[in-house]
């Protein structure tokens, strides 16, 4: 044994042994939700990317545990001294310390406090983040106890999770509509050929609904109510069965609570602008692709992932805008996390497409 551990090859064997016992994990650091997948166990954590902090000190409440579901419940209902923050809201890391606290909480929750050997983690990050933000993610993972950290780009993880043949010499197109960003990418030979990260996504559907309620009904509604309207009656194209929904909020003139009824037609009209922006990002990306890759897409079509892709009729709108066939990935909310788990299983093969903490 001691002999085995001597020299470089000894170190490699030792490292492989560590790999066998450590709880390696893939993390989808999303603007709305963070998911963790563990090798051999699938998705073990799925919580909102939300943190509740005390305003004056920026300390995470409840001794560092007001993260995820606990924090989301406080959203829009917290008293003045408490801020409930989504640290990745716009697809960039707006607050390093809070992102770090969140990552640390999630990693520790999965490994358990007493884990002796730190995990190797593959974290998928939004494509738009800067070198400084990447470094912040590396540092956070290290401080959370990770032994090795790799970063992969979210569209690549989404495409792998959706089962697209990304390593083949042929074009595949993925559109991952998250909360804060929509990532449109064309992939080939295991890498991104063209991509665009648009800061218009599913959160903007909610804002459009909030604005509509203000303009048409003088009714102020919260983000959670707007999200419920979107999920229950929202659509991007007529789906045959138009619906209505009762909505409660605060009257902007009297200041008092009031309710009203909205229809799916008017919500569709309110969503037209952000939906059109996403369709335009798809056509722009297609225009920038090499002709051979574009030609492949006539066969392969477009695959949608991310929670935003669940908006009814979105596929129809994108199909009309691009002329390509559009399909929804299986379980679109977990595509990226499942993709990072596949990265983990093939870490030796895929190392070249990952950025490692040893490179920076």
Q: Which residues bind ligand ADP (CB under 6 A)?
A: 30-33, 178-180, 202-203, 227, 230-231, 306-308, 310-311, 333
Residue 231 binds: one of Mg ion, ligand ADP, none (C-beta under 5 to 8 A by kind): ligand ADP
Residue 53 or 335: the one with the smaller Cβ distance to ligand ADP is: 335
Residue 203 or 296: the one with the smaller Cβ distance to ligand ADP is: 203
326: CB partners within 8 A, 6+ apart: 301, 302, 303, 304, 315, 316, 318, 319
Q: In what order do the strands lie in the sheet with 244-251?
A: 219-220, 244-251, 257-263
Least gap, CB of 141 to ligand ADP (angstroms)? 18
Least gap, CB of 114 to ligand ADP (angstroms)? 30
Residue 66 or 267: the one with the smaller Cβ distance to ligand ADP is: 267
Residue 68 or 179: the one with the smaller Cβ distance to ligand ADP is: 179
Least gap, CB of 49 to ligand ADP (angstroms)? 6
Residue 228 or 258: the one with the smaller Cβ distance to ligand ADP is: 228
Residue 271 binds: one of Mg ion, ligand ADP, none (C-beta under 5 to 8 A by kind): none
Residue 202 binds: one of ligand ADP, Mg ion, none (C-beta under 5 to 8 A by kind): ligand ADP
Can you give the binding site for Mg ion, defined by CB under 5 A?
30, 178, 336
Residue 310 binds: one of Mg ion, ligand ADP, none (C-beta under 5 to 8 A by kind): ligand ADP
Least gap, CB of 271 to Mg ion (angstroms)? 20
Residue 18 or 43: the one with the smaller Cβ distance to ligand ADP is: 43
Residue 310 or 328: the one with the smaller Cβ distance to ligand ADP is: 310
Residue 68 binds: one of Mg ion, ligand ADP, none (C-beta under 5 to 8 A by kind): none
Least gap, CB of 189 to ligand ADP (angstroms)? 25
Three-class SS of the chain: CCCCCCHHHHHHHHHHHHHHHCCCEEEEECCCEEEEEECCCEEEEEEECCEEEECCCCCEHHHHCCECHHHHCCCCCCCCCEEEECCCCCCCCCCHHHHHHHHHHHHHHHHCCCCCCCCEEEEEECCCCCHHHHHHHHHHHHHCCCCEEEEEEHHHHHHHHCCCCCCCCCCEEEEEECCCCEEEEEEECCEEEEEEEECCCHHHHHHHHHHHHHHHHCEECCHHHHHHHHHHHCECCCCCCCCEEEEEEEECCCCCEEEEEEEHHHHHHHHHHHHHHHHHHHHHHHHHCCHHHHHHHHHHCEEEECHHHHCECHHHHHHHHHCCCEEECCCHHHHHHHHHHHHHHCHHHHHHHCEECCCC
Least gap, CB of 32 to Mg ion (angstroms)? 7
Least gap, CB of 68 to Mg ion (angstroms)? 16
Residue 115 or 207: the one with the smaller Cβ distance to ligand ADP is: 207
Residue 339 binds: one of ligand ADP, Mg ion, none (C-beta under 5 to 8 A by kind): none
Least gap, CB of 202 to ligand ADP (angstroms)? 3
């Amino acid at each position: 044994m001691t002999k085995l551990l001597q020299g470089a090859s000894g170190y490699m064997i030792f490292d492989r042994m560590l790999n066998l016992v450590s709880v390696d994990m893939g993390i989808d650091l999303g603007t709305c939700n963070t998911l963790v997948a563990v090798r051999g166990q699938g998705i073990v954590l799925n919580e909102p990317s939300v943190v509740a902090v005390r305003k004056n000190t920026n300390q995470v409440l409840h001794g560092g545990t007001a993260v995820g579901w606990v924090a989301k419940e406080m959203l829009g209902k917290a008293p003045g001294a408490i801020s409930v923050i989504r640290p990745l809201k716009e697809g960039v890391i707006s607050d390093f310390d809070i992102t770090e606290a969140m990552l640390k909480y999630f990693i520790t929750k999965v490994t358990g406090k007493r884990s002796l050997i730190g995990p190797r983690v593959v974290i998928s990050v939004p494509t738009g983040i800067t070198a400084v933000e990447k470094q912040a993610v590396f540092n956070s993972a290290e401080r959370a106890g990770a032994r090795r950290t790799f970063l992969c780009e979210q569209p690549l993880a989404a495409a792998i999770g959706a089962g697209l043949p990304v390593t083949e010499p042929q074009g595949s197109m993925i559109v991952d509509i998250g909360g804060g960003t929509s990532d449109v990418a064309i992939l080939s030979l295991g890498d991104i050929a063209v991509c665009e990260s648009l800061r218009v996504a599913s959160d903007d559907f909610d804002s459009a609904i909030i604005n509509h309620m203000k303009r048409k009904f003088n009714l102020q509604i919260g983000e959670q109510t707007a999200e419920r309207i979107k999920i229950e009656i929202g659509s991007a194209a007529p789906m045959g069965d138009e619906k209505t929904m009762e909505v409660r909020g605060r009257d902007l003139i009297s200041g008092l609570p009031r309710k009203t009824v909205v229809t799916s037609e008017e919500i569709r009209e309110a969503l037209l602008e952000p939906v059109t922006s996403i369709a335009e990002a798809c056509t722009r990306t297609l225009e920038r692709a090499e002709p051979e890759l574009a030609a492949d897409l006539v066969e392969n079509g477009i695959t949608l992932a991310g929670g935003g892709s669940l908006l009814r009729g979105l596929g129809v709108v994108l199909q009309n805008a691009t002329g390509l066939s559009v399909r929804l990935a299986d379980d679109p909310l977990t595509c990226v996390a499942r993709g990072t788990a596949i990265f983990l299983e093939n870490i030796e093969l895929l190392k070249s497409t990952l950025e490692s903490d040893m490179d920076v």
